Amino acid sequence: GAVVSQHPSWVICKSGTSVKIECRSLDFQATTMFWYRQFPKQSLMLMATSNEGSKATYEQGVEKDKFLINHASLTLSTLTVTSAHPEDSSFYICSARGQGAGNTIYFGEGSWLTVV
């Protein structure tokens, strides 16, 4: 089946620095990718939707200047957490949708971010 890969699986960064998380669709072209954030024991919350070659659409309450999303190709989307703070520590998950995957949504394995 279709596979979505995230990298890194976990990352620790210092407060004030930026960190980039990659989301790749390995065997299909992802026309749309979604970024979610999940705090412990809470549900996945959609942060933004990105379509290849266009600007991401952010959900209400998500700062677009803080969470930079780039979907430069049909197989790669990146989320950059800028000027990270401890409250940004969370589990970030991407999902991807594309014709090659039968319009099914596939989720990545997630990336743990810890800001110290």
Taking the least distance from each CB to another protein, the nearer of 12 and 17 is: 12
Chain residues that interact with another protein, rule: CB under 8 A: 4, 6, 32, 34, 36, 41-46, 49, 91, 93, 97, 104-110, 112
Least Cβ distance, residue 2 to another protein (angstroms): 10
Taking the least distance from each CB to another protein, the nearer of 42 and 83 is: 42
Strand residues in 1-116 grouped as ranges (E)? 4-7, 10-13, 19-25, 32-38, 45-51, 57-58, 67-73, 76-81, 90-97, 105-107, 111-115
Taking the least distance from each CB to another protein, the nearer of 29 and 82 is: 29
Strand partners, 45: 37
Report the DSSP pairing between strands 45-51 and 19-25: unpaired
Neighbours of 31 (CB within 10 A): 19
* H-helix or E-strand spanning residue 87: none
Taking the least distance from each CB to another protein, the nearer of 3 and 76 is: 3
- Residue 59 is given by DSSP the state P
